[in-house]
Amino acid sequence: MSDVLVHRVDFGYFIRPGSETQTGEARVEPCLGYLVVHPDGVLLFDTGMGADPEVDHHYRPHRIGLDAALVGAGARVDDVTHVANCHLHFDHCGANPLLGTRPVFVQTTELAEARTAVDYTLPELLDGARYEELSGESEILPGVFLLPTPGHTPGHQSLVVRRADGAVVCAGQSHDTASDFSADHFAGRAHDEGQGLTRHDAPPISPAWMDRLQQFDPRVVYFAHDHAVWIP
């Protein structure tokens, strides 16, 4: 469908401390959502960062609120008809309580984890939203799919939007960066081509769901915490 548009939504940034990075040095990361403008509705994928004194002290976020972030993407809150979160950590579902009765699509395993695990998210961010639980892949609008991509969290999901010029994937935090995604993509390719499978230095095995993503033949992949994109 060539008339389906995907816009990036800028929710600001936060500073990830060195204790949480591979280099041991603090890193500034964007907080990005994506808006899908479809003939049958407008879907917001991720809703920004929740607020909490302890979280603010730890991550030093610079927030762009829901209204301003959507205006920056050419939309208003009233335009949004559907919502989904890649997962329910505080930096992906911050505005869920502000979206009223709109359906918020989430994997059942993710919602259960968020409601029961200690220090998983800010509990108040789960209140006031109408969750529509999914158990696996689902087409929530014609040509718009939510696909389980567990790893970062047990119920993490990614968004796939089919267009006439190729699929657009909003991978959320299935990978922190486009480079990480590329590494998994080429590791899978190497295994498929039988490269070094019996060697001690064989490439790592990609997540099983990478094969499903590739079946959509994505022309571009976007991420929640990286402005860079992956292009085949």
Q: Residue 31 belongs to a domain with what CATH number?
A: 3.60.15.10
Residue 230 maps to a domain = no
Residue 2 above 70 pLDDT?
A: no
pLDDT single digits (tens) 186-222 = 888 777 777 655 656 666 678 889 999 999 999 999 9
Number of domains within the chain? 1
pLDDT for res 133: 98
Residue 90 maps to a domain = yes
Residue 15 above 60 pLDDT?
A: yes
- Cβ-based neighbours of 218, under 8 Å, separated by 6 or more: 160, 166, 167, 168, 169, 230, 232
Q: Supply φ then ψ for residue 84, to 5 degrees.
A: -145, 150
pLDDT for res 120: 96
Residue pair 177/223 in contact (Cβ under 8 Å)? The answer is yes
Given its phi and psi angles, is residue 166 left (phi above 0), alpha (psi -120 to 50 degrees) or beta? left
Residue 227 maps to a domain = no
Q: Which of 89-93, 162-166, 186-190, 206-210 has the lowest mean pLDDT?
A: 186-190
User: Range of 217's domain?
Assistant: 5-222
Residue 101 above 60 pLDDT?
A: yes
| CA-to-CA separations, 95 to 13, 55, 148, 212, in angstroms, rounded | 15, 15, 22, 30
Q: What is the mean pLDDT of residues 134-161?
A: 97
Mean per-residue pLDDT over the chain, rounded: 93
Residue 22 above 90 pLDDT?
A: no
- Position 3 confidence tier, pLDDT thresholds 50, 70, 90: confident
Residue 228 maps to a domain = no
pLDDT for res 150: 97
Burial of 199 (0-12, 13-18, 19+ CB in 10 A): exposed
Residue 74 maps to a domain = yes
Q: What is the mean pLDDT of residues 37-44?
A: 97
